[in-house]
Structure 1
């Protein structure tokens, strides 16, 4: 976050003109106002665009004990080879919209999207998408261990993967589908167990517990609820981890083998590993698809000392999402005039799987107007799906971008870098990465674009969320 900046002229006390003050505060690609507050970034357009080659991060977190590498599933570092095709940005945003509708429906309907049911054959719905974000990690499952690449998601509780035999249908994934009959550590969970009852119903096949998870766009996974050995790193192994062994799965999951659920509920990874990791995890999402980040469990190795914590808040009518309190937005050093009720009426969550931050329309309108005014010297480009403020930077070598700062409860300010401000389709279509909800009363979502390069720390046991700058490339 912010630091202090000083100009000293031979130790003398000088009376500086406004012009001299501005020169004093022109430093390191930033423009500062007379009070020393950053007003804008000056960045090269080429630095905003991803590279075609993979540049693994040299993150400090790599030395921590329980750390997984985080990779953008469509980038050059991705093990999901078929996902290296150029991104269809419109499709990404449509998937994102589906996810937002699902999250907001869960919040308003008191559901968690998970229910147990009898095993039934459902028609394949290959045209539907789960929209669960862009970032994957690779973990080991079973004995002997089989590596699986899974989407990680702070908005979902159940961890699941596709399993043989596919009784209904299985979508195409990069790695071989997990076969529980080849693992000596696999066991089904009894229908009479407490774990089964926590799924929200009593779906059974004989005495064996079944699960069925359906997302708002009708993507689904269903199969046996089971336990298995989960390998995080060679020295970090979790026995009897409860997961969904999906034998009927449908949706465009991007060739990932399934999902790691990191939400705050009774069956999530966070709750199941509470004794080991203290309900504490952090991640850093890379600045572009060409870099890697990390997902770290527990406090081992410590989070960066620069982390500032805001209280986690309760989300109305839901227990699984991580609520945060947004108090205001500053653009170019000026606090936007947004009534506090605009943020408080619907509340907000932070979500690893939502790409574009959703703001109350009152707040979005103020941000868009101020941003367009600050960027008035640049050529606008056509809207991209839900994004209505886009620019053509194809003829620019450098651009000046106003700093956007989010203020959270507890006195925490998060200064967004340029890659946390824009959704970039190409140099000729660079869009402001925010969208409005339908009403101020809708749940707001702080998305993953705005989380890039921050060390985002979830101290679930302590009831707080931290932001640390420069967590990864």
Structure 2
């Protein structure tokens, strides 16, 4: 009888603690330890002196360069969060001192292709940038005629794209590839002053030449000549008359990448510039594994997955015109809906950002998620925190790792199911095999929550700007 009472008490306690989870079946994800170890491996290096672009098809791939030392997550996201706060109070094209430069004379621009009844699309492989000393994701494209190769960061939180350019009369940081040389491009042109494009970049001028300046919140900056040239996506697709920054003075820690590809909502971003030719849709899939590529699509493509797209509304905030917001209202972990009111998420909003590593949640939501995760992970060996991650486990000696599944639920009913590697992160330098919950509590000074690129891994994320919606297709790369 006593044993029956004990069982009843246990059942009542379980119901009180887990009641909300009864609406859905428990959900778990698992991978083998060998798979995790393989996912942490470094991708093969590439040498720009021997690297050859493909001769046909969409096969322009990136092989990260050698010798980089990956920056720690905390430093990267701290810098990123300062950048977000900086942009919330000033334009992304904030005024910078003019930089005297000399470039070839302005030549007529080649107009982009006329819009088609069905806009074309092109695909570029993307890859982790760990061996280029960045925790962000990169693509390899070509600038100029003939094309000069550049490995650049994908950033949905920036508008103006830029690369380092010769003669670098100010300063260029060390990058693995040669700096872009405008003098070797027959299609290069500096943007004149007094044009709408120059005004969109801040209207700075040096004589008749338009200048640009972007200063980031961590103190890094890029300044130079606002330029136009042909952007080559791959051997079968290019975009003429692309406006970008030709960086003459670039200060700060950008790793060894050649620049940045702006995918934001502003007039100077690649999606905005390419909309008349490729339509207003783009998407990307950030790979789970360091050794395998994902992809960036410019234009609408037909999903290859049989899983239906989960679309949610693209929210626009007037004070942050370049950013993509989504209305997250709840989180499901292992079939259990966190007991957090939707207003905790919606009060400040949630930014979807490819340039932030982790996901930053409101403190009550993070605490609830962490506590539930710990409850589910009982039986695994805890490990010390790996700053800024405070929930870590030592999986050494295990054959497989089982974790609760996590999904984001949006106000319009859309659901985004995260990949295993969108929930757990396994730092390359953590020995033995340490895995940590890849979420953190949002700092008090941060104006909104952020869904970072770790949580977006393995899913195709579709930005349909004309329809004002964002779609998610799990397990796409």
Q: Could you state the TM-score of these two structures normalised by the residue count of structure 1?
A: 0.82
- Residue 112 of structure 1, aligned match among 80, 91, 94: 91
Which residue in 2 is equivalent to 1:458? 463
Distance 1:116 1:319, change over 3 A: same
C-alpha displacement of 1:302: 4.8
CA distance in 2, matches of 1:98, 1:150: 18
Larger mean CA deviation between 455-464 and 390-399 belongs to 390-399
Contact 1:421 1:450 in 2 (8 A): yes
Distance 1:286 1:441, change over 3 A: closer
1:45 corresponds to which of 33, 42, 53: 33
1:29 aligned residue = none
| Counterpart contact for 2:362–2:449, Cα < 8 Å | yes
- Within a 5 Å distance, the mapping from 1:4-403 to structure 2 comes to 37-49=25-37, 50=39, 52=41, 54=43, 78-83=63-68, 85=69, 87-88=70-71, 91-107=72-88, 109=89, 111-120=90-99, 133-200=135-202, 202-302=203-303, 304=305, 306-315=308-317, 317-403=319-405
The alpha carbon displacement at 1:132 in A equals 7.4
Structure 2 regions of 5+ residues with no counterpart?
Answer: 1-20, 45-55, 101-132
Give 1:301 shift.
4.2
Q: Which runs of 5+ in 1 are unaligned?
A: 1-32, 56-64, 72-77, 122-130
Whole-angstrom distance in 2 between the partners of 1:36 and 1:348: 25
Deviation at 1:233, TM superposition (A): 1.8
TM-superposed CA distance for 1:70, in Å, is 7.5
Give the match's secondary structure for 1:114. Answer: coil
- By how many angstroms is 1:48 displaced? 2.0
1:470 pairs with one of 455, 472, 475: 475
Alignment size in residue pairs: 410
* Aligned residues: CA RMSD: 2.4
1:198-254 superposed Cα distances (whole Å, 9 cap, x missing partner): 113x32110110011110001111100011111112222211111100011122222
- Asked if the contact 2:312–2:326 (Cα under 8 Å) also holds between the matched residues in 1, the reply is yes
**Counterpart contact for 2:313–2:326, Cα < 8 Å:** yes
Identify if the C-alpha distance between structure 1 residues 219 and 68 changes in structure 2 by more than 3 Å, giving closer, same or farther: farther
Q: Are the structure 2 counterparts of residues 338 and 67 from structure 1 closer, same or farther at C-alpha, using a change threshold of 3 Å?
A: farther
SS in 2 for 1:191: coil
Q: Is the 8 A contact 1:117 1:210 kept in 2?
A: no
In structure 2, what is the Cα distance between the partners aligned to 1:373 and 1:69?
A: 45
CA distance in 1, matches of 2:338, 2:77: 26
Asked if structure 2 preserves the Cα contact closer than 8 Å seen for 1:315 and 1:347, the reply is: no
1:101 counterpart SS class: helix
Residues of 2 paired with 1:95 and 1:52: CA distance? 21
- Which residue matches 2:120? none
